Amino acid sequence: MSTDRTEAAPAAAFATPDWVKDAVFYQIFPDRFARSGRVPKAAHLQPWGERPHPHRYQGGDLLGVVERLDHLAALGVNAIYFCPVFQSASNHRYHTHDYYRVDPMLGGNEALRELIREAHARGMKVVLDGVFNHSSRGFFQFNDILENGEHSAYLDWFHVERFPLSPYDGARPANYKGWWDNRALPKFNTDTPAVREFLWDVGTYWIEQGVDGWRLDVPNEIDDDEFWREFRRRVKAVNPDAYIVGEIWHDASRWLSGDQFDAVMNYLFTRPCLAFFGARTIDQRMNEASGTGVVHPMDAPAFAERMSRVAQMYPEEITLAQLNLLDSHDTARFRTAVGGDETAFRLATIFQMTYVGAPCVYYGDEVGLAGGPDPDCRRAFPWDERTWDHVTLELTRRLAHARREHRVLSRGSFEVLTAFGETLAFRRVLDGRAAYVLLNADRARQVVYLAGLVPGTYTDVVSGETVRFGEHHTFSLEPRAGMVLVAQDV
């Protein structure tokens, strides 16, 4: 089950941003992470921490993030991916009004500038969400069509079918194309040169302002490879190290040839993790109700085979830059999707932090935040530390820092050593140095015998204990527990 990528695929003739390969990402839904007293608030906000409502705001902002950067630094995070931050009449801000203006409720453009400055001072990158497939009813050019009808100068910016348009009355046909027929999200006509230039300019403008990359929302729905090739050319001309990561839920080979995206959100990583670590407790109704769909349980051999294939799908440059997530703003949170099984989430976190590609922690997961399908997965961060799951928090910290301190965990090859029942062992190897990961998802203690090891003295990141072994060793694994063994520096 070895995944020696030098044999599996030819070396890529392109490069992905080097910093991504060593990154630990943290995804933030801005309205729900943290409030700052420095940002004026509207009066009719939902109380912080109340169960999320699809249309109400809880008032998180970007300066609130600035004031909590030390929490992220302590966690081991060195890159932040934000859900949309531009002006919008929705708490999730996928209904963009103005692509050049940060939402005033988030603190405006100056708040983003301060955030970039403070994040960069701590060695953290900042990646924004680019919603370029559709805008909103409040977007100026679409609003012009609503005001002026067939006389609007911007008819070719959208897919207008006939008049009159019906942007709000669901009993009447909308008469224009929206994202998945959602009339709140009119779809851009990206065949129009002015639209293409507008979106490319937005892409380069924010990179010029210091943003480190783009996460692209539903980019497959702009079914035009040349559009994305030109987007890449322009963004990379401003900053060759800018990260371009697409939201593609399936095989993304079409977009990962080095001329469009650097990587994708790796949902092909997410589902097997639910299937293996949550095999006995998975909540199928919860997953069916969210973007994940039905997840069939896996044993260790099936999981090992699947994750070995995932590690081989793309060239090494792509694989090392994949955004590996356990959950997101579009899915039920992992711990909720597995019936509240904290051991499943902790085991999955160990795997996420030691697998090939950049791990991405969804805000609040590290302290035990639960949540079902949208909008419940977008709960407010609970800043009362008395409510936190400190065991998971400390585990996440140890793993994130170990990944950044030991390049073998971020850049090493991936090779499964054994998989039986619900027990898995694999190693990462880089420049003759090895790290070993052993995971026991069983409810009973397991003994694992491994041969062909790199002898030495190792530290178990999970427990902090020292382990010494030669070329052959027998390991004892407690139920629902794991070990991450990294070589001690001599």
- Give the residue numbers annotated as catalytic, written as ranges: 217, 247
Q: Which helix (H) or strand (E) holds 174?
A: none
Estimate the crossing angle of helix 300-312 against helix 267-277, to 10 degrees: 170
Q: What is the Rg, in whole angstroms, of the alpha carbon atoms belonging to the chain?
A: 23
Record the tokens describing residue 395, joined without a space.
């585990």
> Which amino acid is present at 69?
L
Q: Which residues pair with 458 in a beta bridge?
A: 467, 487
**Matching residue, tokens 């090392």:** 320
Say which residues have a Cβ less than 8 Å from residue 227's Cβ, sequence separation at least 6. 190, 196
d(CA 189, CA 155): 10
d(CA 310, CA 52): 34
Nearest by Cα to 403 from 20, 9, 141, 31: 20
Separation of CA 121 from chain center: 23
Return the sign of the alpha-carbon dihedral for residues 348, 252, 97, 165.
Answer: negative
Q: Would you state the structure tokens that stand for residue 361, as one six-digit string? A: 């922690």
Examine residue 382 and say whether the peptide bond preceding it is cis (omega within 30 degrees of 0).
no
How, if at all, do strands 423-430 and 413-420 pair? antiparallel
Q: Which pair of tokens denotes residue 84? A: 């949309």
CA-CA distances (angstroms) from residue 4 to 295, 315, 374, 485?
28, 11, 39, 21
Helix (H, G, I), strand (E, B) or coil at 36: coil
Going from the C-alpha of 340 to that of each of 54, 60, 285, the distances in angstroms are 23, 26, 14
d(CA 75, CA 381): 15
Helices (H), 281-375: 284-289, 300-312, 316-319, 334-337, 342-354
H-state helical runs in 244-293: 267-277, 284-289
Q: Tell me the C-alpha distance between 70 and 140, whole Å.
A: 38
